[in-house]
Amino acid sequence: MSGIITRFAPSPTGILHLGSARTALFNWLYARHYGGQFLLRLEDTDQARSSQESADNILSNLKWLGLDWDGDVVIQSQRQQRHQNVAQQLLDMGKAYRCYCTPEELVAMKDDALARGLHPTYDRRWRDRTDHPAGPFVVRLKAPLSGEIAFHDTVQGMVKVDAEDLDDMILLRSDGTPTYMLAVVVDDHDMGVTHIIRGDDHLTNGFRQLNLYHAMGWTAPSMSHIPLIHSDDGAKLSKRHGAIGIEQYRADGFLPEAICNGLLRLGWSHGNDEKIDQEQAKAWFDGTSLSKSAARFDRDKFLSLNGHYLRQRTLSDDGLESLWHDVVHEPLDAPALSPDRLSDAACRVGKAILPALAVRATSLCALRTQLIPYLSPCLENPPVLSGDDGSMLSELIPILRDLSPWSSHCIEEYLRQWSQEKNLSFGAVAKPLRLVLTGQTISPSLTDIMVALGKENSLLRMQNSVNASPRA
């Protein structure tokens, strides 16, 4: 099975979206599971719509997702001579022919078929003619005229179509450029592709491509056609349902591991496992358990997975360092942080508080918003307290200044003891203290915040609010 070769072959005519990313992921996992190769090809036969910007977007976001490929990227347009040579081989073998129909004739052919209630297909009028006039022509494949075209799809099972339902597809256009159908088959053959996993919107292409493999005497790769991703209302996924590009999910603060996990569960399963990291996926993804039913996209599930992986990163030093980097630099739509918020002192505080903040966060953007107040020694706008709360904190400041060690356990133990001595509930002390330290009424553990800020910053924030508040 180490001889397995899969590929991802997007057209650089737009951004990398969820469906394409899932196709890439499944092919990548299948190759990595069996120790094979995962190849990348840019299918730019549509030169009018293809762009370098789209190509760069696709490559950048594949790298971000961690879907590395083997060898160089194959650029389909650079192989045009090879495609033309194969078309000429087919002509020489009598398995293809020149068609001289004009655009007007093709339109009339279509209108006539529709008028008779028939499917509009080319009527093969040039298939057996040898009187080749001067003028432009296309090259068409001589497809079988009868019988069935069939193959075993690893997801759909045995699939077949009547030969008469497939026309003689064009291989070369009148300007000599290859069509998508010819280029795909030639490139897959030359790249040694053994397995193809793609959306079931390509199923009809599979039959047409099989005709071309048979005409050339080549072995066709194994094919798996997976249902497209649908929205939660059962409709085909669109921008209205959240089918934005991978780059936008990245800008919205998603982690690549969350996107990959979410995509993995859209059409594949491993028992009841929901949270599956990339190493587990490579170990388990053997090409089975692909669903024949359309998967339904749920953005809330992606957010939940994102929160899970945010927390996972805080469990190791390397993961925490990676999370810190992404919080500071990754959300592409967020404004850059000022240098003073990234000083050595600010970074130490930020990294210390990050695990506590990650407990509730579901995106890097949310985590970054929560983090910013901790990246300065004091709050820009110290909260104004009631007179009683101001007096209480004023009394507490000098006592806390003498507290040692400055640890979560000692701080909590002392605050609870002091609350009891003052006949106050712990909440009555913790609520204003949390507000002056964070500017918020809801936050992670109060003592974790105080330890992360450090004694001096904590006392400075308390004093600033006391100074800004009326006295009882």
Give the residue numbers annotated as catalytic, written as ranges. Answer: 239
Of 333, 406, 317, 334, the C-alpha closest to 372 is 334
Phi, psi values for residue 41, rounded to 5°? -135, 135
- Give the H/E segment covering residue 421: helix 408-421
Using omega within 30 degrees of 0 as the cis cutoff, is the peptide bond preceding 405 cis? yes
CA distance 271 to 406: 47
First to last CA, the chain: 78
> Do 251 and 61 form a contact (C-beta atoms < 8 A)?
no
CA distance 460 to 377: 8
> Do 23 and 204 form a contact (C-beta atoms < 8 A)?
no
CA distance 469 to 150: 81
The alpha carbon of 110 is separated from its chain's Cα centroid by a whole number of angstroms, namely: 41
Of 318, 319, 351, 315, the C-alpha closest to 255 is 319
AA identity, residue 280? Q
Structure tokens at 388: 């009683």
Distances in whole angstroms, Cα of residue 361 to Cα of each of 17, 259, 274, 349, 396? 25, 16, 19, 18, 31
CA pseudo-torsion sign 339, 468, 370, 320: positive
CA distance 269 to 361: 26
AA identity, residue 369? T
Length of the chain in terms of residues written: 472
> Do 37 and 31 form a contact (C-beta atoms < 8 A)?
yes
Of 436, 399, 439, 438, the C-alpha closest to 415 is 399
Of 462, 302, 342, 443, the C-alpha closest to 390 is 462
CA distance 443 to 360: 9
CA distance 67 to 25: 7
Structure tokens at 327: 């919080």
Distances in whole angstroms, Cα of residue 165 to Cα of each of 145, 160, 207, 279, 445? 9, 11, 10, 44, 68
